[in-house]
């Protein structure tokens, strides 16, 4: 039996040719042809042998032919060396993510999909007695557990810091880092890329990436812990301000009195200790015997004094949310921190916010006074880890954080070449798909493997939708 191979010019067509040989019982000829065709492509500088074939799991081949996959195994034909983007998609990279707090340093090995593979925590070095070297050694010892496995380090930390350079102006309770560049210090020790972002902003980024603010353009995240932290999402992005201190809600003055005292600021009057104080005053129970768990257990049982203390606390919180709403006109306010897990807290805050907006006498002058939606954050203890990872991937332009989808039509070879050149100007990943087939849009061989007589779906993993539309305007297919 003799079959001629002339005219088979694309990987897609060659795939079906090989499949036909197998179905005709010509397995040896199929293997020989794969060696001939793909070996020839390599010699011409191709960046892949078997387009979109994953050697670690042949079932992942999007062409879907088990017959071809069965012979396309390492050792049978040339071992495929897939494109870097495809290899990244099939084996998600792993990163060490660190959330440095005043009491504990939490850490996790996470993949770029945000999944926590394993995690742990160690006690934070004593900030009053231990110095910077002790702190750095603690971080380095955590990294050594994952050395050779973690592609980089993503870090969440307290204080006012420049997340672009890694310079820490302040370090919160970790005062030893003040005036130092943590990115440079860690990269020097660990020899992998490092990023750092403020912990409150990390919490906001976690909610923007996969949580309550995922589809929100303008939103506020409040984290009620020992103090009050959080972040502002404006136009879909974290807002840092001119001095990197936007979202440091603890520093907000809450009255024109006691400004020379800690009690004059939101940080000491709005976190969990403030709730404990209010309930203690109403019930007579010593503060040392109260915590968030016990307070809400008694509240759920209908304890009137506890409910009165909760009402006082949430009324103050609602006033501050109202003020933030006037400033930022947010679509959504998400409340985080341990006590935000309690539905009763959110219920009380909503009640007070709605009352302030509805009963505001200024409505007589301006009836239109938007009331923000108040909800709980999706992520609690892991929010800083998730947000730190998001910041790392965003800064290093990896992973699939935001998606732009467009329908395109590139019917000629000249169109394909021009389209591919435009793709190369973007530093994000791009796919072209058609039915069940998907290729790397930056691989010209991949594009030619699709049916160019029909429209294709372009997926760009970026938040620069306007730039994508402008660059590919010539090829876009308008949809009704």
| Averaged pLDDT in 10-residue chunks for the chain of 480 residues | 42 65 76 62 44 47 50 39 43 88 91 90 74 93 95 95 96 90 96 96 94 92 90 93 92 87 89 94 95 94 96 96 93 92 95 90 78 91 93 83 87 91 86 81 80 91 85 86
H helix or E strand, kind and range, residue 459: strand 456-460
Under 8 Å between Cβ of 456 and 409: yes
Alpha helices in 284-412 (DSSP H): 292-300, 304-328, 343-359, 383-396
CA 455/CA 432 separation, integer angstroms: 10
3-class secondary structure per residue, 79-105? CCCCCHHHHHHHCCCEEEEEEECCCEE
Please tell me whether residue 469 adopts helix, strand or coil conformation. helix
Instruction: Give yes or no for a contact between 162 and 197, defined as CB atoms under 8 angstroms apart.
Output: no
**Is CATH 3.30.420.40 the classification given to domain 212-377?**
yes
The CA distance from 245 to 199, in Å, is 12
Ranges in the chain annotated CATH 3.30.1340.10: 404-475
Give the residue from 458, 464, 424 showing the smallest Cα distance to 442.
424
Q: What is the reported pLDDT for 42?
A: 43
Per-residue pLDDT, 154: 98
Looking at residue 407, its pLDDT comes to 95
Question: For position 27, what pLDDT does the model report?
Answer: 73
Nearest C-alpha neighbor of 99 from the set 207, 201, 22: 201
CATH 3.30.420.40 domain position(s) in the chain: 94-201+386-396, 212-377
**For the domain with range 94-201+386-396, which CATH number is right: 1.10.357.10, 3.30.420.40, 3.10.20.310, 3.30.470.10?**
3.30.420.40
pLDDT at 47: 42
Residues 6 or more apart whose CB falls under 8 angstroms from that of 391 comprise 154, 163, 195, 197, 201, 202, 205
* 321 vs 84: CA distance, rounded Å: 46
Interatomic CA distance for residues 313 and 224, integer angstroms: 12
Q: Which two tokens stand for residue 419?
A: 């389209």
Q: What is the pLDDT of residue 38?
A: 53
- Measured at the CA of 119, the angle between CA 114 and CA 120, to 5 degrees, comes to 150
* Count of beta carbons in the 10 Å neighbourhood of residue 215: 10
pTM higher than 0.85, yes or no? no
DSSP state of 74: B
Tell me which DSSP letter residue 479 carries: -
CA atoms within 13 A on the CB side of 154: 28
Phi, psi of 463 (to 5 degrees): -105, 10
Task: Note the pLDDT of residue 451.
Answer: 86
Q: Would you say domain 404-475 falls under CATH 3.30.1340.10?
A: yes
């Amino acid at each position: 039996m003799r079959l001629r191979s002339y005219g088979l010019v694309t990987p897609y067509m060659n795939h079906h040719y090989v499949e036909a040989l197998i179905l005709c019982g010509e397995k040896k000829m199929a293997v020989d042809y794969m060696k001939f065709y793909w070996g020839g492509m390599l010699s011409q500088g191709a960046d892949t042998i078997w387009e979109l074939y994953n050697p670690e799991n042949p079932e992942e081949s999007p062409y879907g032919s088990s017959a071809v996959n069965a012979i396309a195994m390492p050792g049978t034909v040339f071992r495929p060396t897939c494109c870097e983007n495809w290899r990244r998609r099939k084996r998600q990279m792993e990163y060490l993510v660190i959330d440095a707090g005043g009491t504990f340093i939490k850490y996790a090995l996470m993949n770029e999909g945000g999944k926590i593979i394993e995690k742990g925590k160690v006690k934070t070095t004593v900030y009053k007695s231990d110095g910077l070297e002790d702190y750095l050694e603690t971080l380095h010892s955590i990294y050594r557990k994952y050395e050779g496995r973690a592609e980089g380090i993503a870090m969440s930390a307290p204080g006012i810091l420049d997340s672009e350079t890694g310079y820490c102006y302040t370090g919160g309770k970790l005062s030893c880092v003040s005036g130092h560049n943590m990115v440079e210090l860690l990269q020097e020790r660990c020899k992998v890329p490092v990023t750092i972002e403020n912990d409150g902003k990390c919490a906001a980024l976690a909610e923007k990436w996969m949580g309550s603010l995922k589809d929100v353009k303008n939103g506020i995240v409040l984290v009620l812990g020992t103090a009050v932290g959080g972040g502002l999402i404006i136009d879909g992005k974290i807002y840092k301000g001119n001095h990197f201190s936007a979202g440091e809600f603890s520093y907000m003055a809450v009255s024109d009195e006691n400004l020379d005292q800690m009690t004059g600021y939101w940080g000491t009057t709005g976190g969990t200790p403030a709730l404990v104080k209010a309930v203690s005053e109403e019930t007579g129970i010593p503060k040392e015997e109260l915590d968030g768990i016990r307070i809400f257990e008694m509240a759920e049982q209908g304890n009137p004094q506890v409910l009165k203390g909760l009402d006082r606390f949430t009324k103050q919180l609602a006033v501050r949310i109202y003020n933030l709403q006037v400033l930022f006109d947010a679509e959504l306010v998400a409340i985080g921190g341990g006590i935000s897990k309690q539905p009763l807290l959110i219920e009380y805050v909503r009640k007070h916010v709605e009352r302030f907006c509805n009963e505001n006498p200024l409505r007589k002058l301006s009836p239109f006074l938007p009331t923000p939606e108040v909800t709980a954050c999706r992520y609690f203890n892991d929010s800083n880890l998730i947000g730190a990872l998001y910041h790392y991937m965003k800064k290093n332009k990896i992973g699939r954080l935001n998606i732009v989808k467009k329908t395109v039509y590139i019917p000629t070879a000249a169109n394909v070449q021009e389209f591919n050149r435009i793709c190369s100007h973007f530093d994000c990943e791009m796919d072209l798909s058609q039915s069940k087939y998907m290729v790397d849009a930056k691989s010209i061989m991949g594009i030619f493997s699709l049916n160019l007589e029909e429209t294709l779906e372009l997926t760009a993993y970026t938040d620069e939708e306007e730039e994508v539309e402008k660059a590919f305007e010539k090829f876009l297919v308008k949809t009704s």
